[in-house]
Amino acid sequence: MGNMIIDGKQIAQHLKEEIREQVQQLATQNGRKPRLDVIIVGENPASKTYVRSKINATEFCGMDGELIALPKTTSQEELLRIIRDLNENEAVDGILVQLPLPKHIDEQEVIHAIAPEKDVDGFHPENVARLWLNQPAIVPCTPMGIMELLKQTHTPLAGRHAVVVGRSNIVGKPIAKLLLDENCTVTIAHSRTSDLAQICREADILVVAVGRSHLITGEMIKPGATVIDVGINRTEDGKLVGDVDFESASKVAGAITPVPGGVGPMTIAMLMRNTYQCYVSRISNE
Ligand code: NAD
């Protein structure tokens, strides 16, 4: 049995190169580049790293990336005012507010304030509803990145059993919907699922988005299954690991994503794609 390690880093790199070429063409035609504004509130170290790689990716793709770093004492009113200004700013194509936000700020209110057509994370209720109603939507980056990995590795989906572990709004729920759209039979498992191991063993495609290292081990995987590990956990010695015990799982799986270098880079590539697509729809309306 072939144990393929899915090289998300390389696939993401190719996608970003494609986007860069498309950006180059349209930017000269239209006299302006796509622009993404990323807002970060406070000093969460993981968030700062994510935000930095998002800005770096815009530069790689030939887009403008603006980092708006606000102190953790920023009031909700002030943040909402900044978002409204960006909504109205004709030069801005995409707006991303890095989560989590400090406790005194209501995340839902903030997401709701972003203009749906600039909501490159796809978290606005209008985009969520559109996704579930099969209408044109901006789709969240991580689930879209997972679908792109499955597509590029030619993983058969129709009629196969997909098990998604985790039911968050950011990953679990939207990836379940996208797999359903590809005619998978989808099971969503979560913290209250009884006999997680048995359910995982039935999966042809296993997507794990929990945030607990070593949650999934080799004996929970059907031989030959495709395993997508979304988790990002930091070990005591500072190493990044996923939710899947790579050592045991990679011996059983037919294909598996590593952490780092699997889903993470794809999330960023899909953010570039969403920003580019927001730009394209805005210039065609100008
Ligand atoms: P979340 O914390 O919002 O949700 C976790 C989910 O896991 C919950 O739905 C819960 O029901 C489920 N869960 C908790 N304990 C469980 C258990 N013992 N068994 C089964 N299910 C259990 O998580 P999230 O925002 O979806 O993120 C999940 C992980 O993915 C985190 O490690 C996060 O850092 C990572 N993540 C990575 C990317 C990326 O680009 N690679 C993007 C988003 C999130």
pLDDT in tens, the chain (286 residues): 468 999 999 999 999 999 999 999 999 999 999 999 999 999 999 999 999 999 999 999 999 999 999 999 999 999 999 999 999 999 999 999 999 999 999 999 999 999 999 999 999 999 999 999 999 999 999 999 999 999 999 999 999 999 999 999 999 999 999 999 999 999 999 999 999 999 999 999 999 999 999 999 999 999 999 999 999 999 999 999 999 999 999 999 999 999 999 999 999 999 999 999 999 999 988 7
174 alpha carbon – ligand 1 mean position (Å)? 13
Q: Which tokens is 172 given?
A: 């679990």
Catalytic residue among 16, 54, 118, 222: 54
Q: How far is CA 239 from CA 139, 215, 229, 232, 259, in A?
A: 30, 17, 16, 10, 10
What's this model's pTM, rounded to 2 decimal places? 0.98
Residue ID of nearest Cα to ligand 1 atom 42: 142
What confidence score (pLDDT) does residue 286 get?
75
The amino acid occupying position 269 is A
Quote the Cα angle for 163-169-174, to 5°.
50
What confidence score (pLDDT) does residue 257 get?
98
What confidence score (pLDDT) does residue 2 get?
62
Residues 6+ apart with CB under 8 A from 150: 157, 205, 226, 228
Cβ(271) – ligand 1 distance below 6 Å: no
What confidence score (pLDDT) does residue 219 get?
98
Cα–Cα distance between 284 and 286 in angstroms, integer? 6
Active site residue 64: no
Q: Which of these, 19, 167, 14, lies nearest to 94 by C-alpha position?
A: 19
165 alpha carbon – ligand 1 mean position (Å)? 8
What confidence score (pLDDT) does residue 285 get?
82
85 and 101 Cβ atoms separated by less than 8 Å: no
Cα–Cα distance between 124 and 114 in angstroms, integer? 7
Cβ(230) – ligand 1 distance below 6 Å: yes
Catalytic residue among 64, 119, 121, 243: 121
How far, rounded to the nearest angstrom, does the alpha carbon of residue 229 sit from its chain's CA centroid?
12
Active site residue 229: no
Catalytic residue among 98, 119, 204, 229: 98
